[in-house]
Amino acid sequence: MIWHKQLEEQGFAIFPEMLAQAELQQLLEGLDQPTLRRSRAGVRHALGHSPVAALASDPRLLGIVQEVLGKDAFPFRATLFNKSPLTNWLVIWHQDTALPLRERKELSAWGPWSVKEGVIYAHAPASALGQVLALRIHLDDSTAHNGPLRVLPGTHKLGVLSDDVIHKLTTEVPAVDCLVPEGGVLAMRPLLVHASSKSQAQFPRRVLHIEFAASVIIAEGLELAVA
């Protein structure tokens, strides 16, 4: 598979046509509920919301994930990002290294620890993060003007990096803008160095970011929490 090779070598792959407009509209209506706890950037811990949980179990998405992580792969966290002219921000170059866990156990290479909205988090080592794949479902067109995801291809192979190393990589590795149409999906490894700029457009850039793991047991004595 061409996409599988790209994901392995570059850390990301784009599936431009995955969800139909009617499916997106139904999802957006489901997300437009007053019971959802929202922040300025969107909705954290959205997997407990039934429309999101249903999408996370969609055979089309699971087919991608299971091809990479194995037949037991499952969704464990979902976040809705809503970048618009009213809620606009930039994200500096970074890796996604924090994972939600059922309980805290002091293990080598895990930490620092924190609690967000009642969920325990720890920054994980590369051995655990290699068992994770994120799918970003684009609810709007992601263009060069509305703050798209930018990535440094291949950096997911370098392990967990310090801020200084990440900064050095930004001067050495050409960045790629991930321009994904409405209904498209971007698969990415959490250790892929990525960023996004502020939107310069008058239309939103909404992305549902769902993370999957190969197993609920992410390391000896540690289990993922569903968030």
Judge whether 123 and 116 are in contact, CB under 8 Å.
no
The pLDDT of residue 162: 97
pLDDT in tens, 166-214: 999 999 999 999 999 999 999 999 999 999 988 887 778 899 999 999 9
| Residues 6 or more apart whose Cβ sits within 8 Å of residue 174 | 152, 153
| Strand-pair partners of 153 | none
Q: Are strands 149-151 and 194-196 parallel, antiparallel or unpaired?
A: antiparallel
> Does the model's pTM come out above 0.85?
yes
Element (DSSP H or E) covering residue 171: helix 163-172
pLDDT in tens, 131-166: 999 999 999 999 998 889 999 999 999 999 999 999
* Domain ranges for the chain: 2-223
Judge whether 175 and 61 are in contact, CB under 8 Å.
no
- Give the span between the Cα atoms of 83 and 48, in whole angstroms: 22
- Of 2.60.120.10, 3.20.20.120, 2.60.120.620, 3.30.590.20, the CATH number of 2-223 is 2.60.120.620
